[in-house]
Each structure stands twice: as C-alpha cells, then as structure tokens.
Amino acid sequence: MHVGNAFIFQNPDGNEGGQALDAGVYDTEYRLADRVEALGFDSLWGVEHHFNGYAMCPDPLKFLTYFAGRTSRVKLGSMVVVSPWHDPIRVAEDSSALDIVSGGRNILGIGRGVSKLEFDGFRLNMADSRQLLIENTEATLMGLEKGYIEYEGEVVHQPKVLIRPGPIRSFKNRLYMSAQSPESFPIMARLGAGLLFIPGNRPFDVLAGELVEYRRLFRETHKREAPPPIFVGWTFVDEDPVRARDFGQEKIFQYSNSAFNHYNTTGEHMKGLKGYESYAKSAEVMKASGISRDELAKKWTQNHIFGTPDQCVEKIIETQKLLGAAAFLGVFNYSGIGEAEASRNQALFAEKVLPRIKAHEPSLDIGVEELSAAAE
C-alpha cells in the first residue's frame, strides 16, 4: 500500500501569531518535509489555503517544486489546488513544469473550496464554484493532455494557447479530486478523477456505500476502472497507549475545531447556496438534533488516526478495506504540537507503522502515468 506524508502549515495562534510565528511554522514544516524520503514514505503532499493561520501554504505546486529538487524517488502531490481560485492556464503550466523537473512524479489533486473567508478574499461568489471547478478542471486537463487549451464554456472563455513547458506524460490516473459532498461524486467520475478523502464528520462506511455509483459512472464514461481512492488522516502515534489516546485525541480535536471555525459550514451563508446543498442539510440535521460543535468535532476526531503503532495499523487497514483505497496520507504536525513532538510522531510512524502498511495489500501504486497525446 502507498503511504505518504502531508503538510498543512498550521499556525495554531491563527491571526494572532504574527509574521515571526508564521516563519517558524514554515521552518518546521520544511525541515520535517526534508525527512520524508529518507524515512521511507512514498509521497510528499502540500495543501492550499489562504488568509489565516488555519493553514498557510498558498501554492502547493511551488512547495512541491522545491522538493522535486530535494528528492529523487517520492511522488509529489497537491492536496489540493483549489481550481475556482486559479486560471487553468497557470495550473496546467505549473503542473507541467513540476512534472518535468521531477521526472514524472507529480500527482495533481484538485478541489472546489468550501471556506467563505477564502472565496471572499478572492472576490468570488461561492455559488459559482461548482461550474468553475468543472470548467477550470476540464481546461487544465486539456492543457496537460493535448499541450494547449482552447475552451469555450459558461464561465471559462479561452482562445487557443500553448502550454509551455509542454507536457510529456498523461495525467490519467494521476488526477485526484477532494471528495466531501456526495453530489460531487458524479462530477468527479465524469472528469476522470480519482477520489481523495479528507475526513469530515461523515463516517467512512457511509462514504464506502456512495463509491458504488461513482465507480459505475466512471467505468461507463471512460471505459476503464476508476483509480482506487486516497484517504488522509491527522495522525498521532505513541508507544504509551494512554498518551496516544489522550494527547492524540486532544490535539486532533483541537485541529477539528479549527477546521469548523475556518469552514463555518453551519453558518447562515450556507442556506440556499448553490452547489453546497449537502452542507446546508447537514447543518439543519445538526441543529435539529441538538448536537453541539464540540460534539461534532469529537465525532470527526474518530475518523482520524491515533493510538499505539498496532492500533494505528489496525485503523488504517480497516479504512483501506472499507474504501478499497490504494494510499494513505498521514499529517503529523498540527495544533501546535511543536517540532520535537511532530518529529517524534513522524519518526515513530515511519519505524513502527509505515513498513506494515506498505506491506499490506493492495500493492497497486498511485500516480501511474501514460504517454500523453501532447508528447506524440
């Protein structure tokens, strides 16, 4: 099984931390990322966020391009590039450049975005996000598969331009999209994207049932099987079972609360918002049931990975079987646990969990590229 390490650049003090603490977060994350290949992980991932301390990597492709020059083996994945916030030309150009300098190690993750704060910061209407996601992704893929973009849609109007540096490999089976709402699965199937699951409050067994229709649509549209999913887990491992349970849950719970604050999916702005109907429905159910935000964060925490090495192995394999997944991505630094603790967490996982997960079926790797039409 493929095992990666993802980095979120979280300043736990949010907007109160200031530039000095932001710089410290960057120093720590880059030092931890520099260890990924030597520790035996299969891939390194960056995630895009803007405007507050929840996560502070505004350009994951730039982050990954730096590590293309620092590594020789690991795959380099975006978790994710938020398509509505970008011109598809730039995404195609930057993805092609990263793929060339890394020797074909780029795995392109694309998502839609959920935070009103971020859409407002980019002066974009969230109600347009679904159409922007579809058309920007189609245009980006055209650029990466054909070497040019010529696209006329409802929101994207692009006369023919060449993508340089020209792509030399196909991104089939190397495109993944972040999956949160079930209504997005048919869109992702038609776009030919694999699914990347970042845990929310919906349990993995529910998601597993929704994959049946996604796989059918993918097979019907593309005449091939969908790539096996990738799933992510905020991870805490410790040899001491009490510390693993108590401290691990505490820190993942703190992260979960920060995510609720950032996305604010129970806010009034979600009511009637086109494309986010499932979020609004979940908020209504939560309100009707009387579940507090803290209770929801505790529930969300259980979808992540914490425990002794044996417990972490068991939870990851259990989730892999539910989803039919090919890859797990661990996040080891979050909620201000500090560089020493994050380094210990990452190293112990690499020593006691990683070899057992990598030996587990399925052996299918992710990011298997094909020769592209653009290279012919």
Of 317, 322, 133, 325, nearest in space to 227 by CA = 325
Total structural domains in the chain?
1
Residue 371 predicted with pLDDT over 80: no
CB-based contacts of 322: which residues, under 8 Å, 6+ apart? 204, 205, 207, 208
Lowest-pLDDT range of 62-76, 83-97, 107-121, 352-366: 352-366
Residue 342 predicted with pLDDT over 70: yes
What pLDDT is stored for residue 201 in this prediction? Answer: 64
Q: What is the mean pLDDT of the chain?
A: 92
C-alpha pair distances (Å), 265 with each of 204, 208, 246, 274: 19, 23, 27, 14
Note the pLDDT tens digit of each residue in 190-214: 999 999 998 776 778 888 888 999 9
Read off the pLDDT band of 20 (50, 70, 90): low
Read off the pLDDT band of 180 (50, 70, 90): confident
CATH of the domain at 41: 3.20.20.30
Note the pLDDT tens digit of each residue in 49-78: 999 999 999 999 999 999 999 999 999 999
SS3 state of residue 328: strand
Residue 219 domain boundaries: 2-375
Question: Which residue type is seen at 14?
Answer: G
Question: Which residue type is seen at 44?
Answer: L
